[in-house]
Amino acid sequence: QAFRKFLPLFDRVLVERFAAETVSKGGIMLPEKSQGKVLQATVLAVGPGNRTKAGDLQPVSVKAGDRVLLPEYGGTKVTLDDK
């Protein structure tokens, strides 16, 4: 996979959004307009962290495989292998 070669630097995190639900809990098909923006994702890769002014490494608090919530207008979209 291309994601294994794509490693974030510093305190950056690579995530993959969950797919939007197309069927409601009652079994009704949802049109694209009524599907909300998915704000949950799975962490795929994590950078090593930032350096403090003293030079110590401050690690990132999440690890690969964690489920996280995303800000509505944050982040940068990256496309690799049609994902």
Model's pTM, two decimal places? Answer: 0.69
What are the pLDDT digits (tens) for 6-15?
A: 788 888 888 8
- Amino acid identity at 74: G
Q: Which two tokens stand for residue 4?
A: 């294994």
Contacts of 72-79 with CB under 8 Å at 24 or more apart are: 72/37, 72/39, 75/15, 78/6, 78/14
Dihedral sign for Cα atoms in the order 30, 22, 75, 49: positive
Report d(CA 29, CA 22) in Å as an integer: 6
Model confidence pLDDT, tens digit, residues 9-68: 888 888 888 777 777 677 777 776 656 677 888 898 888 888 888 989 888 889 888 999
